[in-house]
Amino acid sequence: MDIQFQEAQAAEGQAGVLLVPLFQGEDAAPAVRALGRGASWLTGHMGLEDFRAEAGKLLLLHGGRKGSVRVLLAGLGRREDFTPKVLGMAMAAAAKRLSGHKLARPALRLESLRALRLAGRGMREHLLEEAVLGARLGLYAHTACKSAAEGEDAPFLPERMDLLYTRPPSAEEQRALRRALSLAEGICLARDLINGPANQVTPRYLEETAAALAGRHGFGFRSHDQEYLRANGLNAFLAVSLGAAAEPRLLVLEYAPPGTKGEDPVILLGKGITFDSGGISLKPAAGMERMKSDMAGAGAVLGLFAALGAGAKDFCRKRVIGLLPCTENMPGGRASRPGDVVKTLSGKTVEIVNTDAEGRLILCDCLTLAQNMARPAALIDIATLTGACVVGLGEKTAGLFSNDPRLRDKLLELAARNGERFWPMPIWDEDLKTLTEKSAADISNTGPREGGASFAALFLKQFVDKTTPWAHLDIAGPAFQSLETPTLPGGGAVGFGLRTLLDFVLE
């Protein structure tokens, strides 16, 4: 759905329906006045008086005569409970309702957002961004593998949504629209990749996706194969790939705005296990089909570059590198065994106690590689790394580990602002002996079950220089959801973490 600003007087008559957000228990008169003369019939309407405006509730009203514009009321709940994310959810639910009613060309007046009377620096732009992003995500569907039933019409999707104004949008509002559309582009790509079946979304497929992004938007791009891993000493990464028929790929994307080529980059490292069987340490069969989502970290980084290419790069003044280790983790005659020892790119040796702790193996080599490539201004890895993090924090919250308090606090601040839930988690250096003392190598790739997410982060920390600002985002819980929400129709891949990372590189 295309979303763009339109002057109200010129476009109002073309609108099929006006979207009107309302707070619960408050006078609706300011919202009605904001609609202008086109919806004057709404004044005193019984439906308006009966609508309670609870969060997520919708009510479609008709003017009663042919040609009069429809109005879709969207409840925001109580003002004291409101966050901008509530507006995004309301707009997503509204977009879905319009699709079901086959109502084309919805419109939202900027005055309707202003009529909410929410104070705060940048609030107006934030509300606009949430409304646009919600409307786009509310129409997301992953249908690439579905066949249309005979005689069944394709799902109706509004082709366009107008943002009506009587006073031209400010530069900040124009920026908010472009950010929201760019972000929607990135999230939808990430969701498509993560939702895609593992026999289609292979390391080679991710390579083709990255190459297409680079070609379309002028990013730097390199792809390395299994021979490169072997020749250059990325033996921990190589060990994970040995049981798979699909060859691994190490992908590098780079965005360097003019004048930044020599600057220290932000490096984003995304775990790209396109299917995780657990290897020889085989996972239980129940739920294993969801292991196609074990590349959600790589999907988020690719989605971020898609967002940059779709327009967000106009606001980005930082050099950004995406590093994506992509492979399957499969059992087989060539697969790594529990008890094997490999020498990592850093020179440290690792005992592979459990082949299902494979994510930290591909990441540890790439953490070293990232620091060899450049001195990172910030090095952030994002990975569906541990079930222990899900046990500790639940399915909607990601763990955030870091060696740098300023980097940690900035990421938490950005996540809180955009509604992605992260929780700061500890790394206890004094526990390192648990991974080293009884190992046949310098370090084991797993520790005890208790505190498993922290031990995984502690393992990764051994491959990060003390002077490198580093953060590890364990998104195993929120990356893939079984329950649907207005902005996640049907459940499945979320594209989690992309928004926080994009905000970080833009700031």
In tens, the pLDDT along 345-382 reads 999 999 999 999 999 999 999 999 999 999 999 999 99
Whether residues 378 and 478 fall in one domain: yes
Q: What's 94's domain CATH number?
A: 3.40.220.10
156: in domain: no
333: in domain: yes
Q: Where do the H-state alpha helices sit in 374-428?
A: 387-393, 405-418
Amino acid identity of 267? I
Whether residues 389 and 481 fall in one domain: yes
Whether residues 129 and 205 fall in one domain: no
Whether residues 408 and 336 fall in one domain: yes
The confidence score (pLDDT) of residue 45 equals 78
35: in domain: yes
Last residue of a domain, one of 116, 134, 166: 166
Q: What is the DSSP secondary-structure string of 84-111?
A: HHHHHHHHHHHHHHHHHHT--SEEEEHH
Whether residues 117 and 262 fall in one domain: no
134: in domain: yes
CB 141 within 8 Å of CB 155: yes
In tens, the pLDDT along 444-486 reads 999 999 999 999 999 999 999 999 999 999 999 999 999 999 9
| pLDDT at 21 exceeding the cut of 70 | yes
Average pLDDT over residues 10-23: 79
- 499: Cα within 13 Å, side-chain hemisphere: 27
Catalogue the active-site residues: 283, 360
pTM for the model:
0.95
Whether residues 311 and 265 fall in one domain: yes
Neighbours of 161 (CB within 10 A): 27
Average pLDDT over residues 111-137: 92
In tens, the pLDDT along 26-60 reads 988 888 878 776 667 777 777 788 899 999 999 99
Whether residues 198 and 100 fall in one domain: no
| pLDDT at 151 exceeding the cut of 80 | no
155: in domain: no
Average pLDDT over residues 415-438: 97
Per the structure, the complete domain to which residue 461 belongs is given by: 180-506
The confidence score (pLDDT) of residue 114 equals 87
Average pLDDT over residues 286-293: 96
Number of domains, the chain: 2
Whether residues 99 and 204 fall in one domain: no
Average pLDDT across the chain, whole number: 93
151: in domain: no
The confidence score (pLDDT) of residue 465 equals 97
228: in domain: yes
Whether residues 82 and 205 fall in one domain: no
Whether residues 374 and 501 fall in one domain: yes
In tens, the pLDDT along 187-231 reads 999 999 999 999 999 999 999 999 999 999 999 999 999 999 999
Whether residues 351 and 431 fall in one domain: yes
Whether residues 280 and 424 fall in one domain: yes
152: in domain: no
